[in-house]
Structure 1
Amino acid sequence: MADCLSPAAPDEAQVLADMRRWIERAVIGLNLCPFAKAVYVKDQVRLVVSRARHLDGLLDDLDRELLLLRDTSPEQIDTTLLVHPTLFPDFEVFNDFLDVVDGVIAEHGLEGVLQVAPFHPRFQFEGTEPDDITNATNWAPYPTLHLLREASIDRAVASGDSADAIVERNLETLRRLGPEGWQVLMKGP
């Protein structure tokens, strides 16, 4: 991939506003992640917009953010969302890139310390149709790598529902909401 930025790329302020709307309305508002609200209201969620013009640049950004998260107290930064608004318009290319991301985590010796959860506007779970509303658990306004601390995940799961119970509840929530409800939720200021 050479230069993937287009002149119509949204500016950073718009990307951040769109991401905050998604976090507040979907992730927290629908309770898709029951652990998100606590760190979001304490301003412990770092939102980073990458303007890398190619994959190597994004990998540099990923390196920097992984090491920053590793070296920073969870009370300051509990989790990071690394967003690239234009580099991965195709979900399949983004999905393939996740193998590289896993390699970067291993290269830094961060397996069992940090993990990455993927989000994409056209995220599609294996075995589902592209428009299946249950894919919305991983739909975000832009391709996003969510860098998470394993210890934070362990603490959150230990104090609440199991991961399986959360997944089932999310699927039911999204089925009740439906595609039209999702569109309404994500539109507007």
Structure 2
Amino acid sequence: MTVSPDPLAAARAWVETFVVARDVCPFAGREVSRGSVRYVAVSASDREAALLSLFDECRHLEATPEVETTLLVLTEGLEAFDDYLDLLEIAEALLADQGYEGTFQLASFHPDYVFADAEPEDPANFTNRSPWPMWHLLREAGLERALSHHPDPEGIPARNIDAMRELGHATLAHELAELKGSA
């Protein structure tokens, strides 16, 4: 496993060694092999600038069809999960307000991600835990295309939850810490 304190290197390693290798997203491997995943470091210490970066990426995706998706790695300012969720809510509302609803979808990842109905130590949370806070900007059309070719898209979340619980919290926490370079 790659160990790196560099946020972009950690994000790439997480995508390759966790998301793709564990098949958490059955569509990610294709995009990684095609080189169509863009990684961008964004400081969120200035929230307005971070939101503007999100819209810069929307425009970049509109102008660059060979890039399927962007991971915005939020390098500072959103270490607290509640702060992250607050800004995520604003980002999602602004995407809709700016007419991007139905064009782009925003998936969310954070080192301390906890689903609303889960306990913090539930390994299922690792389906959305990453070495750094991230916004994953996806093209809706590409996602719909991928889902239409998958034999059981509705079963993906349950399969992932089962896989994470089988691995266990300690193993997953160790792997995530290694990816961030703090193990």
Tell me if both proteins adopt one fold, taking TM over 0.5 as the criterion.
yes
Instruction: Name the residue aligned to 1:153.
Output: 143
2:110–2:134 CA contact under 8 A, matched in 1: yes
Please give the residue correspondences for 1:1-189 in structure 2 after superposition, counting only pairs within 5 Å: 14-73=6-65, 76-186=66-176, 187=178
Between 1 and 2, higher relative CO (CA 8 Å, sep ≥ 6) is seen in 2
Which runs of 5 or more structure 2 residues have no equivalent in the other structure? none
Instruction: Name the residue aligned to 1:7.
Output: none
SS at match of 1:115: strand
AA at the equivalent of 1:90 = A
State the alpha-carbon separation in 1 of the partners of residues 130 and 140 from structure 2.
Answer: 22
Per-residue CA deviation, residues 40-69 of structure 1 (Å, 9 max, x unaligned), is 111100000013541011011111011111
Give the Å deviation of 1:148.
0.3
Which runs of 5 or more structure 1 residues have no equivalent in the other structure? 1-11
AA at the equivalent of 2:15 = I
State the alpha-carbon separation in 1 of the partners of residues 114 and 98 from structure 2.
Answer: 28
State the alpha-carbon separation in 2 of the partners of residues 161 and 168 from structure 1.
Answer: 14
AA at the equivalent of 2:31 = V
Give aligned-pair identity as a percent. Answer: 34
1:54 to 1:81, Cα distance in 2 relative to 1, 3 A:
same
State the alpha-carbon separation in 2 of the partners of residues 50 and 163 from structure 1.
Answer: 31
1:137–1:170 CA contact under 8 A, matched in 2: yes
State the alpha-carbon separation in 1 of the partners of residues 91 and 166 from structure 2.
Answer: 33
Q: TM-score, normalised by structure 1?
A: 0.87
Runs of at least 4 residues of structure 1 off by over 6 A?
none
1:53 to 1:38, Cα distance in 2 relative to 1, 3 A:
same
SS at match of 2:72: strand
Give the Å deviation of 1:129.
1.0
Number of equivalenced pairs: 176
1:185 to 1:149, Cα distance in 2 relative to 1, 3 A:
same
1:53 to 1:181, Cα distance in 2 relative to 1, 3 A:
closer
State the alpha-carbon separation in 2 of the partners of residues 68 and 21 from structure 1.
Answer: 23
State the alpha-carbon separation in 2 of the partners of residues 158 and 88 from structure 1.
Answer: 34
AA at the equivalent of 1:82 = L
1:50–1:58 CA contact under 8 A, matched in 2: yes
1:25–1:185 CA contact under 8 A, matched in 2: no
